[in-house]
Structures are given as C-alpha cells and as structure tokens.
Amino acid sequence: MTEKQDNELSQDTEQQKNRQEPSEKEAGAGADSIEELKKSLKEAKDNYIRLYADFENYRKVTARNKEELLKYANEDLMTDILTVIDHLELALQHSSGSETSNSLAEGVELTLKELKSVLEKHGLITIDALGKPFDPSVHHAMSRIESEDADENTVVKEFRKGYMLRDRVLRAALVGVAKKPDQPGDPESGSTQNQPAETEEK
C-alpha cells in the first residue's frame, strides 16, 4: 500500500469517527429532552389535579350556600308572621263567653290553625317548652318561679311561644323557670349564681 493510500485511509477513518461522535451527542441530548418532557408532563398533571380539586371544593361550597339560601329564604317573612300569630292567640285567650264572641273565637281559631299549617309546610316548628328542662339555645328565661312540684330549672310557664325554621331558631321561647322555695336560714337563699333567672315570680 502506497503512502498516498495510507493517508486517504486515515482520513476516511477520521471522518467516520467525526460522523459518529455527533450522533452520540445527539442521542444524549435526546434523552435529556425526554426527561424534561416527562418532568413537564408530571408538573402539568399535578397542576391539573390541584386545580380540579380547587374547582370541586368551590362547586361544593357554592352548592351548599345556594341550598342554605333557599332553605332559609323565608326567614324574615316567617318572623313577621309570628307577630300575627301572637295577636290571634291573644284574641283567643281574651275572648269572652258570649255567643257572638264564641263564634268569633271559632273563626279566629280556624284561621290560626290554617295559618300554622301552611307555615309548617314551609319549615316552621313550634318549640315545645312547658315541662322541659331549661335550654338557653331555645329558651329565654324571664323569671324564676318557686315550685314545690317541678324539678329545678324546669320550664313551668311560657310567656311567649318560640319557633324554629327547620333547624335554626327563629325566635326563642320566653319562659319562667322553676326553682325550689327558699328555706329560712339557708346560706344560699336568694343566690342566683349560674341560674337563668332575670326576675323572680312567686
């Protein structure tokens, strides 16, 4: 083999080597690009999951708020109508025994029952107070009433009925609460500590 042929062969080998080297670099760069794409895809997926969770929470809160709004939409109207009920009940309590008054009382009573029936369909609930233990969440104590028969802190008198709209107190019942009669010489006689009383009725 001549020197010229040796040189040509050497050049061909060098060129082939140079062609191979870029291919290896390109392969490495391609692998890096795939890893970057995988990383970007994972970040995008995480962001999507986070945004979807936020949207679901927002949707649930909005639905709950809408439900609450519809559930208690008539609250102000119900409160105003309670005054009408109070007046009708007072009219029944103070009706005289004459025939005319009795006829009028019957009409008022029927009207009252019908009105309450309609309101109950829309969620109005009468608070049952008499004979129940005093409950500050639904009762408002107006007085302490001495009683031998009733248990301590039992509601023994109802000054004004209380009502709820579904599970929310619309108006607390105004009540009188039982207490045991004071004993002469009792050091705790007259004490009102931890009692719901505001005034005392005997």
16 and 83 both lie in a single domain:
no
Cross-sheet strand order for the sheet of 124-126: 124-126, 163-165, 168-171
Q: Within this chain, do residues 186 and 197 fall inside the same structural domain, yes or no?
A: yes
Do 135 and 182 share a domain, yes or no? Answer: yes
What mean pLDDT value characterizes the chain? Answer: 81
Q: Supply the CATH number for residue 136's domain.
A: 2.30.22.10
The 3-state DSSP class for residue 124 equals: strand
What is the rounded distance in angstroms from the CA atom of residue 131 to the CA atom of residue 149?
11
Q: Cα dist. 73→47, 68, 123, 126, 165 in Å?
A: 38, 8, 11, 19, 10
Mean pLDDT, residues 89-107: 80
Measured in whole angstroms, the distance separating CA 65 from the mean position of its chain's CA atoms is 9
- Whole-number Å distance between alpha carbons of 112 and 110: 5
Answer with the one of 53, 71, 89 that is the final residue of a domain.
Answer: 71
CA atoms within 13 A on the CB side of 38: 6
Are 160 and 127 within 8 A, CB to CB? Answer: no
Residue 25 domain boundaries: 1-71
Q: Are residues 117 and 159 in the same domain?
A: no
pLDDT tens sequence across 114-165: 999 999 999 999 999 999 999 999 999 999 999 988 899 999 999 999 999 9
For 171-180, write each residue's pLDDT tens digit.
999 999 999 8
Determine whether 7 is exposed, middle or buried from the number of CB atoms within 10 Å of its CB (0-12, 13-18, 19+): exposed
Domain count, the chain: 3
Q: What is the pTM of this model?
A: 0.61
Give the pLDDT of residue 4.
Answer: 56
Q: How many helices (H) and strands (E) does the chain have?
A: 3, 7
Q: Are residues 131 and 113 in the same domain?
A: no
Residues 27 and 87 in one domain: no
Give CA 27 to chain center in angstroms: 61
Same-domain pairing of 41 and 105 = no
